[in-house]
Structure 1
Amino acid sequence: MSACHCFYDDVNKMSLRAGSTVRESGGVVSGISTVVYHANYDSITLDNDMVVVQPFEPFQVGPNIQIVNVPSKFGYEAPAGLPVTVVGWGMDGDGNRPEQLQKVDLSVGKTSICKDIFADYNPVTESMMCAGVIN
């Protein structure tokens, strides 16, 4: 699972790496077999920014490759205060792509607070989760 906005390029030129926190080495690499974008993804607002990506061959579960559980209930809303970890290869503040996988530990915030904070910037919708340091 990933974010649709990460799949802006031809997926035939992309690959998946599992079992490593270094962008260009280690772990196991596979090509992409299937990409399923959320049917209601909006590239302007990033509403429903979810994609399921399937490698050509399943990754073998081991010490550095684990299965991540996601809620099975449609419409699940994480409760405010729930600790969450966000990881990714997104560009840093200078527009550079990091060599190391980035990680930050946050808490889920109240959606109503995020809606107020971002009201003049971008709408916060029901498909989005609010997280950060929010008092």
Structure 2
Amino acid sequence: MNFAIALLAGPQDPAARSALEFARAVLASGHRISRLFFYRDAVQLASALGVQPQDEKDISAEWREFIAEHQLDAVVCIAAALRRGILNKAEADRWDRPVANTDAPWEFSGLGQWVDALQTADRAITFGT
């Protein structure tokens, strides 16, 4: 089965952890993830500048490692990212900002990528509100 997964919840929301555990279970069960789409506050997971307290797990790092390890298509909504100050090198240059705070494995794109994922997936699931 082919899954498309959208995450709307930021790093502090338990839905971010639930989505990661679900994605891990999908792959462990022999299924496929065609696309992960990070929208609304979930784009904050792509920031390399967040620091977690020492007694908490770094959900952003866990997502980054999971995506890289499984070579998944992880799309960050560009409009939501820009609105929240999440910039890759191209966008930092485009908007004349001094620094980028995200990089691979995240890809910036628009909502059309989520629509495309819905067209090709057997199942779509959303985490967060």
Q: Under TM normalisation by the shorter chain, which class is it?
A: under 0.3
Largest Rg, 1 or 2: 1
Query: What TM-score results when the alignment is normalised by the length of structure 2?
Result: 0.25
RCO greater where, 1 or 2, for CA within 8 Å and sep 6 or more?
Answer: 2
- TM-score, normalised by the number of residues in structure 1: 0.24
Q: Which has the higher helix share?
A: 2
Richer in strand (by share): 1
